Structure formats: structure tokens, C-alpha cells
Chain A
Amino acid sequence: MDLFEYQGKQYFARYGIAVSPGDIADTVEQAVEVAERIGYPVVVKAQVKVGGRGKAGGVKLAQDVDEVRLHAGNILGLDIKGHVVHRVWIERSSDIAKEYYASFTLDRQNKVHLGMLSAQGGVEIEVVAEENPDAIAFLAIDPVRGLDVETARRWVNDAELDEVAREQAAELLVHLYECYTLGDCDLAEINPLILTPDNKVHALDAKVTLDENASFRHPEWEEFRADEFEDPREKLAKEKGLNYIGLDGTVGIIANGAGLAMSTLDVVNQVGGSAANFLDIGGGANADVMASALEVINTDPKVKAIFVNIFGGITRVDDVANGVLEALQRVAISTPIVLRLDGTNAVEGRAILAPHLNDSLITEPTMLDAARRAVSLAND
């Protein structure tokens, strides 16, 4: 789960990482109230989960109440790369002497944690990595041993942060590592991490991705969930407990297993179509799950055909067939459904469907045939 900047800052604060004082606002009036409370000058920042906010006009400095009104009014409702701004974060403007970069993530290749620290912050780290790789100090951290402040001190020296910033930065990095590990982040990134003219180090931005698998030990994540989905289809799918990702195409996809679901998207694309979604119903392809899956896909006006791709393993295809029939009685589906049923009890499953087949309920013998059929129906 990706957090908004303001949520990331709230999460950082839990772990003792210094952030600018600020608050959220959903309306111009709230923005004014917050700005008056924290004092000018303030920065008005669009809260969207996409990069390049500044260039899109989503980050503005305001010296007084009129400017807050103006900027908040412009930014709220602004469309930034398809993400509409519903909320702004207002924070006290910081004077900046230096901009650094710091992050922790998993090094999948070496199966250890990877810290990245640079004295050249404020720009995308990918750009720094490309143009000036020596400017990034990489630190491999054994997850069993963790990061101590001694190591962090050597690290800030290696990264050549300004002398006055080093001790504060070392301590902040230890806190950021705690946030990353104890806080179960996939990514904890500060860009920029700033040094102010009065020699204070703090986080000016926050990019945090939480590991959903750890939600069982983080009841505090509940507050982040309300704002998790911007796509209404994904919100509905989440409510129904489905593993769904919304896309832009016209063929709705239901498959069992993440790999097969991904593969189904690919095959639809190969035969000239485009998928409307990724949806893995896992091993539980019963009537309830199937009805929920069809219901979510049915809310998508772009969908012109649905491709159900099932390979029975533990999942029995006869159960799937019964599930589909039962689901169709519960949900009125407006588009044709093409099924490919293989694996355990496929013969029985196809026999169950046979008497019900018509122009809008079709079976095909292979994944490719079914993909072609679904795509041709969607493109009609």
C-alpha cells in the first residue's frame, strides 16, 4: 500500500523522524484555517500518489492568506497525470541550505536490506544513479544484525554530507531504518532530506510503501485504508476481498492464480485485445467468489466481454462451473462470458455448463482459443 505524503510524514513521526509542522485540508476554508494556525509562509502540496507534482503546479508557496486561498483553490480538483487532487497538505515553509536523499528498500538480488544515501537530493534518484552514480553511497545491511548508529556515522561520512549535518543525519537514518523494518515498509524514502540554514536536518518529503502482508501486526494502518483506492472498481474489489487491479482495456479477466492471471492478460494482448483488469480469484473459485468477481467487472462500463480462465489444480473445475451458474443467477451480466476450463475435473465441469451455453456463455478448449473469442467479441 502506497501512502500519501502526509500519511508518510505521520508514519515517520511515529518513529521519531523530524518533519515540518503541518496538517491536511480538503477545502479552501480548511486550508486557510491550517495556514493561520501554523504560521506563514506555508507550502500548499497536492496529495496524489504520483511523481512530478511540482511541475504540474501541485506545490505552491503562499506568503499570506490570499495566496493560500488562491493556491489551495487551484490545486484542489487539479488533475495530475490522471490523479485528481482531493486533499492538500499545508506545512510551514522551510529554508533550505542543502538537499540530500535517503532511502531503505530490499535488495532482492542479494537478499539483504539496501540503504541509499546521497548529498545530491531533490532530484530523482534514478537520474543521479544514471548521471553520477558515485554520488550515491550504498549500504548493504544484514537483516539479522540491523543498522547501528556507528555504522550510520561511517555511512554519512562516505556520502559526504555536510559536516554539520552528519550526526543528526546518522541518528535520523537509524530511526528511518527502524521505521522501515519495525514499520514493515517495502520502501521508506526521503527526498529531499534537508539541512536548514540554522543547521537542522529534517524530512521535507515522504515516500512510504507498506507491506500489506504485515497488516496483521499494524492495527494503526487502518486509518490509511480509507483513502487507499482512487479507482472505484478497486475499492469495491477490496471490499469483496478480491485481488483486483484496474486497467484500461475492454476484456474483463477472471483467472485462478496470480501467474495464470498475468499470463491471461498477456495472451489477450497477443491476440489483439486489451485487458480491463487483473483479477486472481486464487483457489477459492466458489459461487460467492465468482459472483463477486463478475459483479466487480460488471461495474466497468468499458468491458465488452469477460474471459474466465481456470486451470484446476486443488480447485476443481466442476465446482467452478457450478459457481459460474450460481453467480449468473445472482448477478445480471451485460456482456458475453468466454470460459476456458482445464485441469482437475474439467470434463465434468464442461458437462455441467453444456446445457446452459448460448451466445453470451461460451466455452473454448484452450487458453488461446478463448482469448481470441473474447477479443473478437470485445472488438465487435
Chain B
Amino acid sequence: MSIFVDENTKVIVQGLTGGQGRFHGLRNRDYGTKVVGGVTPGKGGSDVDGIAVFNSVKEAVAATGATASFVVVPPKFAAAAIIEAAEGGITFIVCITEGIPAQDEAVTYNRLVEDFPGVRLLGPNCPGIISPGKCNIGITSGDIALAGGPVGIVSRSGTLTYQALYELSQQGIGQTTCVGIGGDPVPGTNFIDCLAAFQADPETLAVMMIGEIGGSEEERAAEWIKANMTKPVVSYIAGVTAPPGRKMGHAGAIISGSKGTAQAKMDALAAAGVHVCLNPTEAGQKMGEIVKAL
């Protein structure tokens, strides 16, 4: 099995007619994802390589029965697009947009929680989600993933997600689902949401968790793992050498005062029984050992 998305997930692409939307939307379709429509206001009735374009999410959902949306629009329009998706009946929203103001994210997140409790947002500023062989929503290159499980991956960083997929696939270890939760300060989906879903998924037997400096989500995940997780977890945290007070590329990757350091996160995870590794390669090798011993 997989978490959040599978071979039956019908996806619309908000921003399909833009350069990025077209490129990634078609790539996702070519991977086998059921991309059933696109949304661009004012371009309803046209199509992108055979994929019907609608004026609004509501129209697209009514016509296609889509439940998931891939939001790939510029930062200034992203918050409105996410809310439109929720209002239009979408229940799983993937937003890859990087550069959304934190104030917009904070308002959008809380609006979803208050007015659309059944909706899950993944991202923003994330690579998306791939359930190998079934569904790929986002910008992950499908050919570095390997279908069949038994490992679930959850990560805050895009390139480190690819690195993790690659390290596992090279060893012949497949993945159930790989979720990029994104590097912004207000992620719609957090580590615990994904860990809980992997814990509940019978086909996921082990989890790779990739974190980075900033915030306290890794520490909270450690507490959750200690209390609830029976499956082995391998972790890598980026940013041990990052200087305090500087945003390391991702808006959320910043050590504030003494809070959010990589070491604190690694200590918390190790104390929760997680296999904490010092670099991505070591994490891949450790997961290899664990999977062989399953």
C-alpha cells in the first residue's frame, strides 16, 4: 500500500498552462498519474496536450471527480489557489511553490484548519509526493524511485529526498511512498502526520526521516516515535555546521537563538530509539541493513 495517494488518485493541476505547470504536469501524467484536468482562470475550454483546462477548481472537480490538486502557481497567487482548491472540494493539495510570504502561509494554514478540517495540504515549498509505480504529484524524478516498498520516506528537503530515494533504489530497496513536506516555516503536513500514516500502512516496514535545522518538528516527531512507532526509523538531519541566525536556503531552516540546532534534533531522535546517521549515504546503508534483517 501507499499513503495519501495511489493509482486511483485523480489529480488536477492548478497552473497547468504555465511553463512549470505544463512541464511537471505532463511528466506526472507520463509517470502514470491520473492527471484529469488543469485549472487556469480565463483558459477554460482549452487543453494542454489533451488534458482539459477549466476556469475554476469547482468546474474541474465537477467534470472530473478529482480529489487531489497540484498547485504550481507563482508565490503571490499560491495562497488564493490553495483556498480555492479547498473550497472547490479538493481534499489533498500539493503546493510546490517556493517563496510564499510566511504571513500568507500562517493565514492559509489556519483557514484550512478552521474551515476545511478534512483537507490535507502538503507543502508549500516541497518536492511533492510519489507512491512509486502508482502516482507522482510534484517535481520528483520518477525514475529514481523504486516500486514495491517496504520503506516510507518523509523529508523536509527536496534534493535530500532525491538522494534518499536514490540511495535506496541503488540497493534494490523499494519505497511505498516518499513524502516531501517542504522547507517552509508553516508546513501543511508535518513529520508526525506522515509517521502516523506509515505506522498504519501494513506495507511500510521501515521509515527514513530526513530533517534539517529550524523549528521543533523533529523533536516533536521524536516524542511521537517514542510513544507510538513500532517500525524502525532511520534519520538524517542536515545543518550540523549551519551558523545561527542565517536562513540556509529554505525559509524555515534557521537556528533562532539556541533553538532548532541539528544536534538537539539528533539527540532527541536518538533518545527515541531512532537510528541517527551523520550523512545521507550512511543513512542509506543503515536502512539497507535494517531491510535485509526484516
Contact = CB atoms under 8 A, between A and B. Distances in A.
Interface string B215-245: 1110010000000000000001011111100
A80 B199 CA distance: 51
A219 interface: no
A344 B144 contact: yes
B250 A313 contact: no
Q: Chain A CB within 10 Å — which of B103, B156, B163 has the most?
A: B103
A259 B157 contact: yes
B110 A112 contact: yes
A313 B251 contact: no
A108 B253 CA distance: 12
Interface stretch (B11-19, B49-57, B277-285): B277-285
B257 A144 contact: no
B31 interface: no
Interface in A302-345: 311-314, 342-344
Nearest to A316: B141
B157 to A, nearest CB: 2
A164 to B, nearest CB: 33
Contacts of A267: 279
Interface string B77-110: 0000000000000000000000111111011011
A257 B157 contact: yes
B49 to A, nearest CB: 19
A283 to B, nearest CB: 8
Interface stretch (A13-21, A165-173, A209-217, A348-356): A209-217
A257 B220 contact: no
Contact of B162 (A216, A269, A313): A313
B106 A265 contact: no
A258 B280 contact: no
Contact of B238 (A111, A211, A266): A266
B160 A214 contact: no
A367 interface: yes
Interface in B179-230: 183, 185-186, 210, 212-217, 220
Interface in A59-114: 106, 108-109, 111-113
Nearest to A371: B279
Interface in A276-292: 278, 280
A316 B214 CA distance: 30
Nearest to B188: A111
B160 A313 contact: no
B79 to A, nearest CB: 11
B166 interface: yes
Contact of A144 (B114, B160, B163): B114
Interface residues of A, number: 49
Nearest to A180: B103
Contact of B102 (A109, A213, A255, A262): A213
A113 B183 contact: no
A313 B185 contact: no
Interface residues of B, number: 62
B143 interface: yes
B238 A186 contact: no
A366 B284 CA distance: 13
B140 interface: yes
A126 interface: yes
A367 B281 contact: yes
A213 B139 contact: no
A367 B280 contact: yes
A211 B139 contact: no
A273 B129 CA distance: 35
A343 B114 contact: no
A314 B136 CA distance: 14
B75 A108 contact: no
Contact of A263 (B101, B246, B280): B280
B30 to A, nearest CB: 14
Q: Which of B100, B114, B217, B279 has the most CB of A within 10 A?
A: B279
A262 to B, nearest CB: 4
A368 interface: yes
Nearest to B184: A213
A247 interface: yes
A266 B279 contact: yes
A142 B213 CA distance: 25
B249 A258 contact: yes
A214 B103 CA distance: 9
Given A109-B216, A368-B279, A262 B106 contact: no
B149 to A, nearest CB: 22
B252 interface: yes
B16 to A, nearest CB: 17
B212 to A, nearest CB: 6
Given A211-B101, A313-B141, A343-B166, A262 B185 contact: no
B166 A262 contact: no
Contacts of B162: 257, 311, 313, 343
Contact of B156 (A259, A278, A314): A259
Given A184-B101, A367-B279, A217 B76 contact: yes
Interface of B: 75-76, 99-104, 106-107, 109-111, 114, 127, 139-141, 143-144, 155-163, 166, 183, 185-186, 210, 212-217, 220, 236, 238-243, 246, 248-253, 257-258, 262, 278-281
A-B pairs, 10 with minimum CB distance: A259-B157, A258-B249, A257-B159, A214-B101, A260-B159, A259-B160, A143-B106, A262-B238, A108-B215, A280-B249
21 contacts: A109-B217, A142-B110, A144-B107, A214-B101, A214-B103, A214-B104, A216-B75, A245-B243, A245-B248, A256-B159, A259-B183, A259-B238, A262-B242, A262-B249, A268-B241, A269-B240, A311-B163, A313-B127, A314-B141, A343-B162, A366-B281
Given A143-B103, A263-B238, A313-B158, 12 more contacts: A108-B185, A108-B216, A109-B217, A126-B257, A211-B251, A214-B102, A216-B76, A262-B253, A265-B239, A266-B238, A313-B127, A343-B162
